[in-house]
Each structure stands twice: as structure tokens, then as C-alpha cells.
Homo-oligomer: A and B are copies of this chain.
Amino acid sequence: MILQHSTWSEIEAYLGRSRGVMIPIGSTEQHGPNGPIGTDAICAEAVARSAAADADILVGPTLAVTTAQFNLRFPGTISLRSTTLMAVVTDYVRSLAAQGFARFYFLNGHGANIAPLLAAFHDLHGEHAATAPHGLRCRLRSWWEYPDANALRQSLYGEWEGIHATPSEIAIAHHAVPATQRPAPTARPEKLTAASLREMGGDRHFDADHHRARFPDGRIGSDPALVGPTDGARLLAAAAAGARADYAAFLAEA
């Protein structure tokens, strides 16, 4: 059930059945030579809508423009300051919490969203939970955290999954929005060590000049040429199943 495709009375009825909502969040940033700039938002939205396809789960509007300052030297990247994104998340959650929603599950497609979202959750829990009619609890989960999806991407791409413009996310994006399909580059990027990749976990990058100089075509240790024709569908299915289960567990928590 897609919030923005529904009428208000349909949402009113849904609130009688559930107080939860799933919110896709991505980014608008370069994704290497053949990945669309909207990869992260496309993936998060596709996973959430797939998860909701056969379940009574409400999916809210996707937050597609988020924090990605380190990619601003690649044209087309759009970045919010952390404080701006936090204000957006705050207002989004407060709006629905005042109507009776109480469980906010952010389905994430972009590592650099994790920090500002958790920071925003801190303030939402601290400032607004007490006055929301049914309280409020926020959680963020990235689609690659679901065990089956994670195992699948590792098995498909191994050490060439990398951490940005990864074959797995490009596979899903190309599958979900065929208009974004572009041929993969033939050359592999620099091979990165596991330690180096770990260091950048959660997109812990420095400034945009440094970033473009360091990763000239935008990929970070990834080889999207490894994507096979059915990978997108398989990864999407695995992630959607993981999301559905994890969301259900979140709603069931005491």
C-alpha cells in the first residue's frame, strides 16, 4: 500500500489496523560509470514496495535527496546538510505520529544516511515521543543488512562488491527501472583492501575534492561488470523478504 497513491480515508482505515509505516530513503549521487544517480533511492523504494506487495504494509514517500557531500564534485549529485536531512526526518515522523502512527521503519539504501538518521532519531525520541498519542519509535535498516540479501551479494560478487556503485545495487536499480540501464565499464577500478573498505563503512568519507581525486570514476572497489541478467530480480526478492520479516519483528517488539 503506497501512501501517496492512496486517499486519506484509506490511510485512516489502515490506522485502524496498524500503527507502522515503512519509509524508503536513498540518495541522489553519482554511482560510477554505469549506475544511475538515483540508484540508492531506486533500490530502497523497490525493496520496500516489493516487501509491501503481498502484505498490509504502508510505504511512505521516498526520501531521495539526502546527505552526500563527498560526491558533490561529480555533477548531478545533490546533497543536504545533515541538519537539513534531520529536520526533514523530524517533520515527516512528527506529522504521522500526531495522527497515531507509532512505528517508523526507514528502509535505507545509502550508507551515509545512517549517521544523520540515528542522530535525528535521538532527538525525535527525546523531544517528541512523550507527546505522540501512541509514542513513537524509529528504526533504520539498510537493505544489504538482511542476511539472505547479504549472503547473495557476497556469493555473486565477492571481493568486487566494493562499497559504492556496487554490482548489487546497480543490478537492482537496472532491474527496477530499465530506463537506467547502461553498459558496464570494461576496466576494473583500483582494488581496495578489506581494511580500507571497512574504514569507509557508513560512507565515512572526507571532502568532495579529495573524494573525486581518490575515486576518479566514482566506483569504490566495485566491478559492476559482474552483474548477470537475473541478479537484480534475485537480489530484490531476497532483500524484500528480509525487509518484510524484519519490519514484522519491529512491530512486534514490546
Query: Which A residues have a C-beta under 8 Å from some C-beta of B?
Result: 2-12, 14-15, 28, 30-38, 41-42, 60-65, 67, 69-70, 72-84, 86-88, 90-92, 95-96, 98-100, 112, 114-123, 125-127, 129-130, 135-137, 139, 177, 179-180, 182, 202, 204-210, 218
Contact = CB atoms under 8 A, between A and B. Distances in A.
A61 B32 CA distance: 19
A61 B84 contact: no
Contact of A79 (B34, B91, B114, B207): B91
A56 B122 CA distance: 34
A205 B139 CA distance: 9
B87 A99 contact: no
B74 A8 contact: yes
A116 B88 CA distance: 15
Given A3-B37, A76-B11, A81-B91, A69 B125 contact: yes
Copies in the complex: 6
Contacts of A60: 78
Nearest to A40: B4
A41 B82 CA distance: 24
A197 to B, nearest CB: 14
A99 B75 contact: yes
B8 A37 contact: yes
A182 B126 CA distance: 30
A119 B122 contact: no
B31 A3 contact: no
A88 B81 CA distance: 9
B99 A204 contact: no
Given A79-B91, A83-B87, A83-B123, A5 B99 contact: no
